[in-house]
Amino acid sequence: MDNSAMIEAEPYSFEFFPKQCALLIIDMQRDFLEDGGFGAMLGNDVAQLRRTIEPNRTLLSTWRAAGLLVIHTREGHRSDLRDLPLTKKIRGQNRICIGDVGPMGRILVRGEPGHDIIPELYPLPNESIIDKPGKGAFYATDLHVILQNLNIKQLIITGVTTEVCVHTTVREANDRGYDCLVLEDCVGSYCPEFQTAGLNMIKAQKGIFGWVSHSAKVLAILG
């Protein structure tokens, strides 16, 4: 895995440098993906996100077997909520909001069951987890420092949701000089319309934010 390989992608092939590439799995947390979690409580159809679990699981196991770097993120807040802006807490005018007790513990609070990553994709002890208070994985985290220290220049990004935390992270990564490849079967939105639009926005204008491909194209190279 020392040489580069071309991954079929849109708008054109992505030159993959495995040693300089991290798999960044965004917010595959119980609160977003499981029945009874925060997402479901807001009336969202979690099945739209759950279809990404199996492709992510296959990709993750192949990625691990190749000895490449994987980083997981979780959206959530300190238990005292001092990193939660009031604007974010009250947005949506919901009866139960971030920090309140929900069906899987306090919603999006670190250490609570709903905040944790789903068992299917649970990080190994040697894999970094970035706990992020915002939608983007770079905002108020040490992700950029970690990637720079490990000489990472490319990100393969998966996770949820496509138009929210995945998109925000892709945009942040672009402005910091990373090439991003997003895998369409491994990212999901509660809203199919946003899934399509979100992916189109990344690859439009000859790849304004990056590339879009499918996990099968990555597996074809790693497998």
> How far apart (Å, rounded) are the C-alpha atoms in residues 49 and 61?
19
| Residue number with CB closer to ligand TIU (160 or 173) | 160
Q: Which is nearer to ligand TIU, 165 or 201 (CB)?
A: 165
Within a 10 A sphere around the Cβ of 133, how many other Cβ atoms? 19
> Is residue 161 involved in binding ligand TIU (CB under 6 A)?
yes
Tokens of 18: 């495995």
Which position among 27, 31, 116, 131 bears the catalytic label? 27
Q: Categorise residue 146: left if φ over 0, alpha if ψ from -120 to 50, beta otherwise.
A: alpha
Mark whether 191 is an active-site residue.
no
| Site membership for ligand TIU, residue 160 (CB under 6 A) | yes
Segment interacting with ligand TIU, rule: CB under 6 A, options 16-24, 99-107, 156-164, 178-186: 156-164
How many chain residues bind ligand TIU (CB under 6 A)? 8
Catalytic residue among 21, 97, 165, 186: 165
Binder among 21, 37, 75, 156 for ligand TIU (CB under 6 A): 75
For 52-135, strand residue ranges (E) read 69-75, 101-102, 105-106, 128-132
Q: Which of residues 31-70 bind ligand TIU (CB under 6 A)?
A: 32
User: Using CB under 6 A, which residues numbered 16 to 35 contact ligand TIU?
Assistant: 27, 32
d(CA 186, CA 173): 18
Is the Cβ of residue 154 or residue 161 nearer to ligand TIU in the bound state? Answer: 161
Whichever of 92 and 177 has its CB closer to ligand TIU, that residue is 92
Q: Which of 132, 135, 179, 180 is catalytic?
A: 132
- CB closer to ligand TIU out of 7 and 169: 169
Binds ligand TIU by CB under 6 A, chosen from 25, 117, 165, 212: 165
Q: State yes or no: is 89 an active-site residue.
A: no
Binding of ligand TIU by 9 (CB under 6 A):
no
Would you call 132 a catalytic residue per the annotation? yes
Write out the residues near ligand TIU by the rule CB under 6 A.
27, 32, 75, 135, 160-161, 164-165
Please give the positions annotated as active site: 27, 132, 165
